[in-house]
Structure 1
Amino acid sequence: MTDLHVPANDEDTGTPVPVVLDKPGTPSTPAPEAVPAEVRPRRRIRAASLRRVVVEIRQNPAYRAAVRHGSYTWGGGRILTRRAWEARTAAMHHRMMRIAEAAGNEEMVQKWEQRAYAYRFARHKRRMDLLQLAISLPKAVFTTVVAGTGVLLLIGILIAWHQHDVADVLGPLDAVIQLVAWLGFLASVIWDPLLYSLPLLAMAGAWAVGRNQRTAPTWALPADGDERDVVPDENAIMRALGKLGIPPLNASIKEGWKPRWVQPSTRSGNGWHAQLQLPEGVPVEMIADKKQILAHNLMRKPIEVWPTEPRDQAGVLDLWVADPGVLTKPVPSWPLLTEGTTDFFRGVPVALNARGEQVIGRLMAANYLIAGIMGSGKSSLVVALLLGAMLDPLVEIDVHVLAYNNDYDAMRPRLRTLVKGDDDEHVVAAMDTLRALAGEVSRRGQELERLGTDTKVTREMAERDPSMRPRIVVFDEVHELFTHREYGKEAKELALKVTKKARKTAIMLMWITPDADAASLPRGISKTVSHRVAFAINDHQGNDAILGTGMHKNGYSATTLVAGEDVGTAMAAGFGKTPGLIRSYFVRKEAGVDEVTPVVERAMKAYKSDEGVWEVPTFDVADPLTDIAAVLGHATKMLTLDVLHGLKDRNPVEYGSWSPRDLKAVLDDAGHGEYKTNGGKMHVGLDRILDAIAARDDDTLDDEDDEGGIED
């Protein structure tokens, strides 16, 4: 090593800077401790200058364009190579198995293993067919040429015989030879340009794929964001997450974090569904709090984006993104608006979920807590529930409205009682009903015990004994009752008591309030009722008071809904295995339009016959499992396509548009599974359908206990 002193730059004050030479004539970077303190700031200045130069280069439009389009081509080539590899191998199957294994889904792992085996088997068969073709090809070519030549000669003989000229015998053969020669000439003309253009075409294809997948560095992409796509694929989701301004998430992305997709972005109903595991230090709550920015990044409105956390997958972001505008379009007409009757013990259609699927509101063994600020549309869900219940002639309905409004006036003919007002006398009437309900619940429980059953009231029992008929009791503006200075404490105690014990006795309660706080609701109501519905709520405390503690944190929040805009839209729990968005049917009763009164009149006709006796109507809301069982009849099994045709014949309105995929979805949800005979054709088994119906009936009462597990 040799120590030399070299002069500093023109900013230097003359202080020599020691430089270590690795070999004579080759200076290396000076050690930090060897650089005098007064020289170090100049080093930082030089580093800052270098960074500025790099930034200026990156900001140069020509340089950014070159890097962007070069990255598009390179990245697109990599993507196409990976796609080709996955198409030729079982790499995709193994990748999906790893994702399913990471998610703990053993059933999905087995399915992908079966698919991988089927793929390898089919690939082996194709290769053997190609080998066989290579062996048989010369013989096939020779046979084809000889046969073709013979046919052409036969045609030539016929032409020569007709024209009386022997020279025409070779005419067809000569024409074919000339055609082949002309095609060869045409190919020789096209071949060279095509051969030279193939690399350009390949590069253009790779560039198009890379541009679609945005494989260029972020700094090289167009600054105006014109290339954003409305389809929320994995790349779009990652870009949206990276621009939420969450420091721990940004740090993870800078460190090279690669998301583990539990479920890649796939089409689901009226939108897209994806699940990915978030990095350490980034709970789902952070994403949910940035919902408005996330929706903007995905080119959606806040109501169209729902980031949540699955109950059984901690740390996983479950993201559902609706198609643009689909959740702001009007909800279709209520299915029972002009015809049809219902069954209290099987529920009524009340709403659509975010995916556009019909939501059935359970009445038997159910209680409802409905809240939302004024103008959020609570009455739309209540009206759909009550009108549906009215179409069952066995149901008796009582309504207490602790305010003065006309929401229930059109239903008065079918209601057993309707009490309106917020004076003390109206509070006393509500208390009398609560006390009577407490006694009624006890009486019905004793009657069930006397009959030797510990299950629940059935339709047959209600038809036989009028004292066991289903009852619905509505308490609207119930905060007036629970906050009353004299009766509030007793009302809360009775409400909890009746709600807990009423589910087996065919008594359904509906608690409705615009105030969602501890003072307006009894502690524990939200974990006692089976159905919790939150329309527009101002704060997350009110949201959790309705839906349960921690629901806002997990992304199930109604705080982003806007009263007056998202009318009839709510976050609800109890209508399915997991909470979710619902959009209530709207049966209108306003100036010039009255859709409620005709339904009430139709309900009154079913309520009493001309002779003044009860009529028990049929149930017109479709139940696929029951209808499948009816189509099967006494047959132990039936081809799946025959079952589908039978459903369409039985109820063309409901099943007329069904495809085999729709039927398969119902069978899979019921746990029927794939069922093939020795012939390899898909069948539906009667025993499996009956088991599914029995299991569903047994689970109906258990759903409330499972959903009540959320602590208040």
Structure 2
Amino acid sequence: MTDTTARPTDTPPGTGVPAVPEQPGTRTPPVPATPLIAKDKPRRRVRIDHLRRVVVETRANPTYRFTIRHSAYLVGGTRILTRRAWDARTTARHERFMRAAEAAGQEDVARDWEQRAYIYRQSRHRRRMELLQFAINAPKAIAMGTVGGAGILLMLGIMLAWANRDAHDVLVPLQAVIGLVGWVAFLAGVIWDPLLTALPFLALAGAWAVGRHRQAAPAWALHGDPEQRDVVPDEGAILRALGNLGIAPLNKAIKDGWQPRWVQPTTRSGNGWHTQLQLPLGVPVEMIIGKKGVLAHNLLRKPVEVWPTEPPKLPGTLDLWVADQGSLSGPVPPWPLLTEGTTDYFKGVPVAVSQRGEPIIGKLMAANYMVGGIMGSGKSSLVIALLLGAILDPLVIVEAYVMAYNTDYDPLRPRLRKLVKGDDDEDIEAALRALRNLRDEVTLRGKLLEELGEGATKVTRELALKDPRMRPKVVVFDECHELFMHKEYGKEAAELAIKVMKKARKTAITLIWVTVSPTADSLPRDVTRNTSHRVAFAVGDHVANDGLLGSGRHKAGVTATTLIPGEDVGTAVTVGFSSKPFEVVRSHYVARDPDKGVDEVTPVVERAMGLYEGGAAVEEPTFQPADPLADVAAVLGDEARVLAQEVLHRLAARNPDAYGTWGPTDLKRALEPFGAEQYKSNGVMVVARDRVQDAVLERLAEDVDDFDDE
């Protein structure tokens, strides 16, 4: 008889719960599985961690990495050679380029590749027919060749026998040929077996070499530290950086075999590298911009050294500029006018250098400035460089209204017509009166231009020399938020500022607004809209950034929020200084530190006072900013087309300081905004005189139209 009584120690396997005896006529409910799963989760996690640790340790093993690396070279090289052979024998390459052109919306390029594919198929068909015809005609040709060759040899033998008067010599040529064939057959027999044996190994070695050259192995299996990254942002480094941004659509595209289309391969550009890459479907440039910090980390750069943007004329394309490591930490070149030279208000003055090391010219005529940033970020360095350059033109009148108590402008006091400092109501009122006077002055100058006739559309240096009422004027309003936010004067100040800025461009009046509080309340929106040159040093958030540089700039990747106060002093993001959407610049610093006995400002002011009081060098300023378009037109002369490399040589000879380090990319970057860049003709890159001259004339017409539109 079976004992059905459950013992107290009986427990279900895998649990610590005693079994409950089953009563007659009842059914024991099943034990819930949840506690088992919950209990197994830590074990599963331990197993996963153990497997991960095993994988990491295995990958770190040199022998394992060596085996995987060279095996991957072999497999990858075979795949590459197979694809090359397939592309060479089919129209796969043409189809691939057609799909890329269609995806980019380039219908003319797609049609061109379709035509090439048609021509290739026709040529391939013709070759195959020729081979088929050759196979049919080959036996007849071989027979005729054999008979003909034997006849020639026999004729040679007869001639040899006639000369030697020996009938045996008739067959000597034929025997010699037969002996040669025998030797060739012998050598082939000796070489054939080793060659046949070595052929597979040679093929494997070739595939391995191709795979090694293309680094067709997992990153962790390559030489050195598997986490090691190259500081040069070439195409491979950029793709690896993009693939590790954590963007799901981009990761999916890479996993699905996305083949990037490089609009512009990575090329050297000044103190950095520039590239343009068409992104896959579902990955807008804004996604990359949102991961700018991670992208910079992946490229071994600081965020301020990496600038991903979207070109205005190439939507869907990532325009990436990566600075050299530490390019923002080195010393800025000395201000070019520190010890000598005079300037021309109508041609601009040097104020900074770009990240690429190019000089940045601050335009004064038909320009105005908005400069902002956190205290200590370097605003004054750019403004002082701008004013020092302005006063080295004896024609220029400078006024400064500083609605705070600081000594930044004190060294310039001898050359300033007026300097007002302070944040009291009378100081704010003085700035307001200055705006009222400027309103009246732009009206007066406009009437004077009208009296001079149709030929005078704007103030020129010649007019300023003839009429003192037309002398150029630069007016600075520092801490301008105090003026615009004043309860009593703020509204009128904003209205006056907008009126003056709209009319001042052709009257040789330049306004410079400086603030530490670039917000919608402190800066009237229309004032920012009518500002041609905008400068953002380190700012606290995107509101301040867009308040200075314009609405939507932060989202588009043009942002100064990544600049670090106290570290990136003098570095700013600018708009309006060039034809590019933005420029990252480092302002020249003209030092003045009485505590250390350093004063570079006062000698410049004294030199400016000497020019102002003596009137020397008024008509022929020594500082002439480089004008690439005009300089290219000059070096082309009367030649219709000149090799691009020859143009670079001539530019370097004309102005070594400006063009001595230029390359083809710099020339293209300078001429492309005007539609006059170099192009390929007969297999070489050339610059056309007609294109450059048309660009010069178009620029002149645009300048006139800009003034006429006001």
**1:103 and 1:262 in contact (8 A); partners too:** no
- Match of 2:600, as an amino acid? E
**Alpha-carbon distance change, 602 to 684 in structure 1, aligned in 2, over 3 angstroms:** farther
1:337: Cα distance to partner?
Answer: 2.6
**1:531 and 1:573 in contact (8 A); partners too:** yes
Deviation string, structure 1 residues 227-250 (Cα, Å, up to 9, x no partner):
322222333333323333345544
**1:419 and 1:426 in contact (8 A); partners too:** yes
Deviation string, structure 1 residues 610-645 (Cα, Å, up to 9, x no partner):
6x8955435432334434555567x56586688666
The equivalent residue for 2:261 is 261
Taking the TM superposition and a 5 Å limit, the aligned residue runs for 1:3-42 are: none
Counterpart among 696, 699, 702 of residue 696 in structure 1: 699
Taking the TM superposition and a 5 Å limit, the aligned residue runs for 1:656-671 are: 666=670, 670-671=674-675
**Alpha-carbon distance change, 281 to 336 in structure 1, aligned in 2, over 3 angstroms:** same
The equivalent residue for 2:141 is none
1:280: Cα distance to partner?
Answer: 5.4
**2:241 and 2:298 in contact (8 A); partners too:** yes
Number of residue pairs matched? 601
1:661 and 1:294 map into 2 onto residues whose CA distance is: 24
The equivalent residue for 1:362 is 363
- Match of 1:695, as an amino acid? E
The equivalent residue for 2:167 is none
1:539: Cα distance to partner?
Answer: 0.7
1:89 and 1:415 map into 2 onto residues whose CA distance is: 76
2:614 and 2:237 map into 1 onto residues whose CA distance is: 61
- Match of 1:415, as an amino acid? L
The equivalent residue for 1:606 is 611
1:539 and 1:395 map into 2 onto residues whose CA distance is: 37
Amino-acid identity (%): 55
**Alpha-carbon distance change, 552 to 651 in structure 1, aligned in 2, over 3 angstroms:** closer
Deviation string, structure 1 residues 525-584 (Cα, Å, up to 9, x no partner):
222111111111111111111111211111111111101111111111112231232222
1:55 and 1:204 map into 2 onto residues whose CA distance is: 30
Counterpart among 55, 58, 65 of residue 61 in structure 1: 58
**Alpha-carbon distance change, 314 to 667 in structure 1, aligned in 2, over 3 angstroms:** closer
Q: Secondary structure at the match of 2:385?
A: helix
Deviation string, structure 1 residues 124-183 (Cα, Å, up to 9, x no partner):
xxxxxxxxxxxxxxxxxxxxxxxxxxxxxxxxxxxxxxxxxxxxxxxxxxxxxxxxxxxx
2:440 and 2:278 map into 1 onto residues whose CA distance is: 51
**Alpha-carbon distance change, 651 to 38 in structure 1, aligned in 2, over 3 angstroms:** closer
Larger radius of gyration: 2
1:86 and 1:394 map into 2 onto residues whose CA distance is: 68
1:232 and 1:705 map into 2 onto residues whose CA distance is: 46
**2:667 and 2:677 in contact (8 A); partners too:** no
**Alpha-carbon distance change, 257 to 424 in structure 1, aligned in 2, over 3 angstroms:** farther
Deviation string, structure 1 residues 214-267 (Cα, Å, up to 9, x no partner):
x4288x7899643322222333333323333345544x3476262643525411
2:224 and 2:666 map into 1 onto residues whose CA distance is: 44
1:431 has 2:432 as partner? yes
1:397: Cα distance to partner?
Answer: 1.3
**1:608 and 1:614 in contact (8 A); partners too:** no
Taking the TM superposition and a 5 Å limit, the aligned residue runs for 1:504-653 are: 504-575=506-577, 576-590=579-593, 591-609=596-614, 615-630=619-634, 635=638, 647=651, 650-653=654-657
Q: Secondary structure at the match of 1:407?
A: coil
- Match of 1:601, as an amino acid? E
Taking the TM superposition and a 5 Å limit, the aligned residue runs for 1:408-419 are: 408-419=409-420
**Alpha-carbon distance change, 87 to 570 in structure 1, aligned in 2, over 3 angstroms:** farther
1:95: Cα distance to partner?
Answer: 6.7
**1:393 and 1:615 in contact (8 A); partners too:** no
Aligned-pair RMSD on alpha carbons?
4.8
**Alpha-carbon distance change, 483 to 338 in structure 1, aligned in 2, over 3 angstroms:** same
1:698: Cα distance to partner?
Answer: 3.3
Q: Secondary structure at the match of 1:75?
A: helix
1:486 and 1:510 map into 2 onto residues whose CA distance is: 22
1:98 and 1:684 map into 2 onto residues whose CA distance is: 32
Deviation string, structure 1 residues 278-297 (Cα, Å, up to 9, x no partner):
45554433433332222111
Q: Secondary structure at the match of 1:504?
A: helix
**Alpha-carbon distance change, 638 to 317 in structure 1, aligned in 2, over 3 angstroms:** closer
2:563 and 2:406 map into 1 onto residues whose CA distance is: 24
2:404 and 2:37 map into 1 onto residues whose CA distance is: 77
Taking the TM superposition and a 5 Å limit, the aligned residue runs for 1:93-132 are: 102-103=103-104
| Worse-matched range after superposition: 562-571 or 358-367 | 358-367
- Match of 2:407, as an amino acid? N
| Worse-matched range after superposition: 468-477 or 63-72 | 63-72
**1:75 and 1:216 in contact (8 A); partners too:** no
1:358 and 1:94 map into 2 onto residues whose CA distance is: 45
1:226 and 1:681 map into 2 onto residues whose CA distance is: 42
2:338 and 2:94 map into 1 onto residues whose CA distance is: 48
- Match of 1:317, as an amino acid? L
2:98 and 2:590 map into 1 onto residues whose CA distance is: 47
**2:457 and 2:708 in contact (8 A); partners too:** no
Q: Secondary structure at the match of 1:329?
A: coil
**2:73 and 2:209 in contact (8 A); partners too:** no
Counterpart among 479, 494, 497 of residue 495 in structure 1: 497
**Alpha-carbon distance change, 450 to 341 in structure 1, aligned in 2, over 3 angstroms:** same
1:80: Cα distance to partner?
Answer: 6.2
**1:395 and 1:471 in contact (8 A); partners too:** yes
**2:377 and 2:537 in contact (8 A); partners too:** yes
1:700 and 1:533 map into 2 onto residues whose CA distance is: 23
The equivalent residue for 1:272 is 273
- Match of 1:557, as an amino acid? T
The equivalent residue for 1:245 is 246
The equivalent residue for 2:324 is 323
- Match of 1:369, as an amino acid? M
The equivalent residue for 1:452 is 453
1:601 and 1:705 map into 2 onto residues whose CA distance is: 39
1:353 and 1:672 map into 2 onto residues whose CA distance is: 23
**Alpha-carbon distance change, 535 to 276 in structure 1, aligned in 2, over 3 angstroms:** same
The equivalent residue for 1:290 is 291
Q: Secondary structure at the match of 2:569?
A: coil
**1:268 and 1:355 in contact (8 A); partners too:** no
**1:368 and 1:532 in contact (8 A); partners too:** yes
1:73 has 2:74 as partner? yes
1:683: Cα distance to partner?
Answer: 8.0
Deviation string, structure 1 residues 492-522 (Cα, Å, up to 9, x no partner):
1211221222212211111110111112111
Structure 2 length-normalised TM? 0.71
**2:398 and 2:473 in contact (8 A); partners too:** yes
**1:100 and 1:262 in contact (8 A); partners too:** no
Task: Identify unmatched segments of 5+ residues in structure 1.
Answer: 1-9, 13-35, 121-183, 707-712
1:396 and 1:93 map into 2 onto residues whose CA distance is: 65
2:75 and 2:707 map into 1 onto residues whose CA distance is: 55
**Alpha-carbon distance change, 523 to 242 in structure 1, aligned in 2, over 3 angstroms:** same
The equivalent residue for 1:402 is 403
The equivalent residue for 1:465 is 467
**Alpha-carbon distance change, 682 to 485 in structure 1, aligned in 2, over 3 angstroms:** closer
Structure 1 length-normalised TM? 0.71
Deviation string, structure 1 residues 322-363 (Cα, Å, up to 9, x no partner):
121223222222233333332222222222223322222221
**2:402 and 2:477 in contact (8 A); partners too:** yes
1:557 and 1:406 map into 2 onto residues whose CA distance is: 30
**Alpha-carbon distance change, 372 to 80 in structure 1, aligned in 2, over 3 angstroms:** farther
Q: Secondary structure at the match of 1:503?
A: helix
1:384: Cα distance to partner?
Answer: 2.1
**Alpha-carbon distance change, 68 to 506 in structure 1, aligned in 2, over 3 angstroms:** same
**Alpha-carbon distance change, 704 to 330 in structure 1, aligned in 2, over 3 angstroms:** farther
- Match of 1:263, as an amino acid? V
The equivalent residue for 1:166 is none
2:237 and 2:94 map into 1 onto residues whose CA distance is: 24
2:659 and 2:652 map into 1 onto residues whose CA distance is: 5
